[in-house]
Every structure is written in structure tokens, then in C-alpha cells.
Amino acid sequence: MEEINLTTLGEFIIENQKHYKSTSGEFSRLLSSIKLAAKIVNHSVSKAGLVDILGAAGDTNIQGEDQQKLDVYANDVFMKTLVNREIACGIASEEEDEFVVIKGKQGTNENKYVMLIDPLDGSSNIDVNVSVGTIFSIYKRVTKIGTPVQIEDFLQCGSQQVAAGYVVYGTSTMLVYTSGHGVNGFTLNPAIGSFHLSHPNMMFPKDGKIYSINEGNYVHFPQGVKDYLKYCQEEKDNRPYTSRYIGSLVSDFHRNMIKGGIYLYPTSSIGPKGKLRLLYECNPMAFLAEQAGGKASDGYKRIMDIKPTELHQRVPFFCGSVNMVEKAEEFMAKHPEDANYASLDS
Ligand code: P6P
């Protein structure tokens, strides 16, 4: 279809304002600020090789991971966009040890929403020109409006999210999000700087033939994961499946949602609680997966039912086509002893 006929993200947000009557446009303004920040980050990601913005920033985040310059830059862009416009009342980021209280110019902030964000996921791929992404998750605050946000506003179950999405900075830049009414994908036209509804009502195929996992950790995986991988690789029925792993959650998820597939980041002896963070990676991707007819669990229970206890806590992550996730869960169920990872020391 001629692109000029495609709805823009701005028009789509306004058309869907009806779902948020009680928010006097605050929710729409929040999505619009994410849209702006995504365009700014995209501009830098797309020319990263040309300016001194590649490589490590010389610092590490709370996870002890080297902060890449673009990581820090992307975090600054999203922080400044939200704080300057006072659109949310608080924000938590993979790149910030603590959550940030957004104070209004009058000292108070009557906004209702908090956002959690992984500003640049897959950042180890930046220097080698492989796609990276931004992941965001939005909740309504649970503490008193007008008071500074507190940790309880961020430690909510994923089932309480009001919206979630990602930006994938790939061969094209796309913003994919849900506000609880399905998943829609918007492709950026860099020539005119607008996102257009290129992928309406995105749905995970019920089944697929792609599995995404870092098989380099095989010897450290729980037995249930090892058994599932052998199942994927055996010559039987419509198998063996294809292994595809980009090392960037957003990119692997996006491909699997379009083609069908499963992404797994299990526990291992290297990471007894897995690697991915519950609040700003697993919960938003789980919300998208479920809204697209897929599934997301820790191998045993629904990701969005897990009650968070820490801002940066990690969980194992099995996400994608519902039949594939359920098959993996069948193998995990044979080893209930591996379900109690949360009680292990990190
Ligand atoms: P590994 C990127 O750091 C990330 O959080 C995900 O985007 C990606 O899928 C995973 O970690 C890659 O981790 O251990 O396989 O390099």
C-alpha cells in the first residue's frame, strides 16, 4: 500500500485515546514522548559508526556490565524527554541504580504513570553493526498522586502493565507496542521522520520452527532445557528446527513473532536466576507476547504473575509461540527441582 495511506503513530495514538478516557491525554502524551525519544536515538544509532559514540563509556551499570556510549546516550535521551515534559511521575532504567522521581516544576507531580526502560538492549552488538533495541513498560502508580513515587510503584506484577513496547533499530526502525488492545507495529520513514502503521494486529503463529538460545551455555543449562533442545534437534515430525540467535532480545523476539519461534534465556550455573531482568525486559515482552497470542513463562509459571521484589531482579525467560513454549514447559515440568531458582543466591 502507498505509505502515505498508512496511519501514522500519532494518528493511531489519538484514535485510541478512547481507551484512556480518564487520563486527560496524559497517556497519549507519554506515548508521543517515547516516539520522539525513539527518533532521536535512532538518528544516533544509525550513524554510530561515523561519530565517536561507539564503544564502552568506561563505566559499568548496576549489573556490572560495561556501559556502551550509546547505552548511556539512549538512557539520557529517554530520561530527559520524560523528565523535561513531566509526563510521567517516575522512571526506572537498566542504566540507573535507583528509580528517578520526576518532580513537577511546582514541586509536585499530578501524573499517574511510571515507566521502566531498557534504553538500549543488546548493546554488545552496537560495535559490530547488529540490530539493538529499546524496551519500555508503563504502569499506573499505586501510591498517592501528587506525592513522590516510591518503589512500590515499580514493583508491580507484569499483569498490571497498561502498556509495553519496543523499538528495534534494525534494517528499518520499528516501534511495536500494546496498550492491552492487541499489538501494532509502526515503521519509521527516516526521510520524513514519521512512524507508519506497517504491521497492524501482529500475532505470534501458534507454532514455529525457530528456537533462539545461546547454546554456548549448554553444559550449564538445567536438564529440562537440555532435553528440550535435543527435542528441537531430532529428526522427527516437522523437526529438526532451525537455531537463530542474534544476541539481541528485541530482534530475536521480533523475528519469532513474525515467523513463529521460541526465545529461551534459562537459568544456568553462570546465572542461577537467568540473565534477563523481570521489570524492563521480561514483563514488557511478555505483555506483547500474550497480546499477540503467544506465551511467556520462567519455564514453570507465567512471567506476568511473578511478584517483583527488586528493581533489577533477573528471571529465566521462555517466550514465543504458545505451542513451543508449552512443549518446553513439558520438559521443565519433569524437573520441578529447578523451579526454585528465586531462592538461590545470585
Ligand atoms: P548472551 C543483551 O545483553 C541481552 O540482554 C538480550 O538482548 C540478549 O538476548 C541476551 O542478553 C544475550 O545474552 O549471554 O547470550 O550474550
Whether residue 179 sits in one domain with residue 67: yes
Whether residue 157 sits in one domain with residue 231: no
Give the bridge partners for 189, in sequence order: 194
pLDDT band at 269 (very low <50, low <70, confident <90, very high): confident
For 196-253, the pLDDT digits (tens) are: 999 999 999 999 999 999 999 999 999 999 999 999 999 999 999 999 999 999 999 9
Q: Which domain holds residue 295?
A: 210-345
Whether residue 172 sits in one domain with residue 84: yes
- Separation of alpha carbons 257 and 178, rounded Å: 14
Ligand 1: atom nearest CA of 122 is 2
Identify the weakest region by mean pLDDT among 51-65, 106-120, 216-230.
51-65
pLDDT band at 22 (very low <50, low <70, confident <90, very high): low
Nearest CA to 154 out of 324, 344, 310 is that of: 310
**20, pLDDT greater than 90:** no
- CA torsion angle for 50, 186, 96, 112 (degrees, to 10)? 150
Whether residue 290 sits in one domain with residue 269: yes
Question: Which pLDDT score is estimated for 66?
Answer: 67
pTM: 0.94
Q: Please give the grid coordinates belonging to residue 181.
A: 488492545
Percentage of the chain modeled with pLDDT above 90: 71
Q: How many domains does the chain have?
A: 2
Distance of CA 21 from the midpoint of ligand 1 (Å) = 38
Mutate to test the pocket of ligand 1, among 248, 251, 312 (most ligand atoms within 8 A of CB): 248
The angle, 0 to 180 degrees and rounded to 10, between the axes of the packed helices 69-85 and 26-46 is 150
Whether residue 167 sits in one domain with residue 75: yes
- CA torsion angle for 25, 27, 31, 33 (degrees, to 10)? 70
Question: Which pLDDT score is estimated for 18?
Answer: 76
Residue 56 has φ and ψ, to the nearest 5°, of: -75, 150
